[in-house]
Structure 1
Amino acid sequence: MRTDVPEKLIKIVEEIDSRGEANLTRLTVLKKWFEAPRRLQPFALWVAARATSRKDKTKGEAAQLFAESRSLLAGLDRLGDDLDRPAARALYDRLRMFQSEYRNDRWGQIRIVHHWQLVLVEKGLAIALSGAPHPSEGYKLAADYCQNYDPKYGNSLNGPSSTKVLEIVRWMSTHEALEGEQ
């Protein structure tokens, strides 16, 4: 079913292009889109797969986790649920353990993250494995995927975020078209 959410995302890209940045909360328009059945979990798997496609020079356990993630997520059907759930659960648990270092701060515990792309895979798998994920989880995943740190703007939608938002628009348009075929 076609919606106007992709057009709203394109307006965010236009704002980034004209002003240099946009607030991450502008992506909340995705919550409504994720309320429709069979959208959030495929999106989460798509983000996880995109995160594994980034070419980082990693070694050791991180490289092995990237390889396992790529293998697990390769070729998943957009609308079907072809995910090997036991393998996904095992990988999710390993990803959580791999970056389970925390430090105490006056505001509470802070998770130490060495490989942001693996965190995106972890978050994507968490949503995909959830029985009934909330649409706000999809918004948070999209914000984590698109955000970029720039000293001028802080953590927001800026610079490379435009490309990532447009990737989401393309994915959404394809997904909506596939929904229309069923």
Structure 2
Amino acid sequence: MQNSIQDKLLKIIDDIDDTGNASLARLTVLKKWFEKSGRLVPFAVWIARLSSARKGKTTGEAGKLLDEARALIGRGHGEEKVRPKLNNSVMEELHGRMRDWQNEQQRQHWAVVRTIKNWNLFLVEQAFAICLWHSDSPAHGYKLAVDFAKHYDSRYGDGLNGPSRTKIMEMLSLIRVVEGYEEMA
């Protein structure tokens, strides 16, 4: 019997509990889940909602952009959580301003890299790009999930550890809600 995506996410959580860390590649199980039509955009909007709400001490232009994102996507209660109503033209304009605000590039020995000043704003920007241009790309959903869940710990490096456990539990809750709405349809 094949394990469900939910079981696989629970196994990742168990591994974090047992060993303290799990590989980011373990989240590839989400690609299969994103293949079903209508799942990726609600996931992306959900990440944008969480990321814009975790504003913390963000002020200035980044704080304003996160406030605008929060106003655009709303809180997402009930069916709005799984079938978000989006204003694509406003989202596209806001996405451009987010990208422009943190579009500093630095030349490294091996490549030119983009400097990210505010990680939550970057996650919202990625989520908006999925909604606007990549709604049928499980690979973009996987990348967003990894960027959302990863955590640096000096014992393990970047991986699924510490706070990642809570974020994976949150993903699991969303998956249950989306699948519940699908069963009712």
**Is 2:110 aligned against 1:107?**
yes
Counterpart for residue 144 of structure 1: 147
1:130 to partner: Cα distance: 1.5
Q: 1:23 to 1:37 in 2, by over 3 A?
A: same
Match in the other structure for 1:66: 66
- Paired amino acid for 1:71: A
Q: How does 1:45-60 map to 2 (within 5 A)?
A: 45-60=45-60
Structure 1 residue 114, shift from structure 2 partner: 1.1
The answer to whether the 8 A contact 2:55-2:66 is kept is no
| Greater length-normalized contact order (CA 8 Å, ≥ 6 residues apart) | 1
Return closer, same or farther for 1:46/1:132 CA change in 2, 3 Å cut-off: closer
* 3-state SS in 1 of match to 2:31: helix
Task: Point out 4+ residue stretches in structure 1 off by more than 3 angstroms.
Answer: none
Aligned twin of 1:10: 10
Q: Which amino acid counterpart does residue 58 of structure 1 have in structure 2?
A: T
- Provide the rounded CA distance (Å) in 2 between the counterparts of 1:132 and 1:65: 22
Equivalent position of 2:163 in the other structure: 160
Q: Distance in 1 between matches of 2:23 and 2:102?
A: 28
Separation in structure 2 between the aligned mates of residue 65 and residue 144 of structure 1, nearest angstrom: 19
CA distances 1:87-108 after superposition (whole Å, capped 9, x unpaired): 1101100110010001001111
Residues of 1 paired with 2:171 and 2:20: CA distance?
19
1:13-49 deviation per Cα after TM superposition (whole angstroms, max 9, x unaligned): 0000100100000000000000000001110110011
Match of residue 130 from structure 2? 127
Which range moved further: 126-135 or 23-32? 126-135
- In the superposition, the TM-score normalised over structure 1's length comes to 0.95
Q: Structure 1 101/60 Cα, relative in aligned 2: closer, same or farther at 3 Å?
A: same
SS state at 2:12 partner: helix
- Contact 2:69–2:94 at 8 Å: present in 1 too? yes
1:20 to 2:20 alignment:
yes
SS at match of 1:22: coil
The SS at the match of 2:112 is strand
Q: 1:117 aligns with which of 93, 96, 120?
A: 120
Tell me the distance in 1 between the aligned counterparts of 2:12 and 2:84.
31
Q: Does 2:120 align with 1:79?
A: no
After TM superposition, give the deviation of residue 60 of structure 1 in Å.
1.2
Shift in CA distance, 53/75, structure 1 to aligned 2, threshold 3 Å: closer
3-state DSSP class of the match of 1:8? helix
Instruction: Give the C-alpha shift of residue 78 in structure 1.
Output: 2.8
Q: Alignment length, in residue pairs? A: 180
1:82-97 superposed matches below 5 A:
82-97=85-100
Alpha-carbon deviation of 1:131? Answer: 5.6
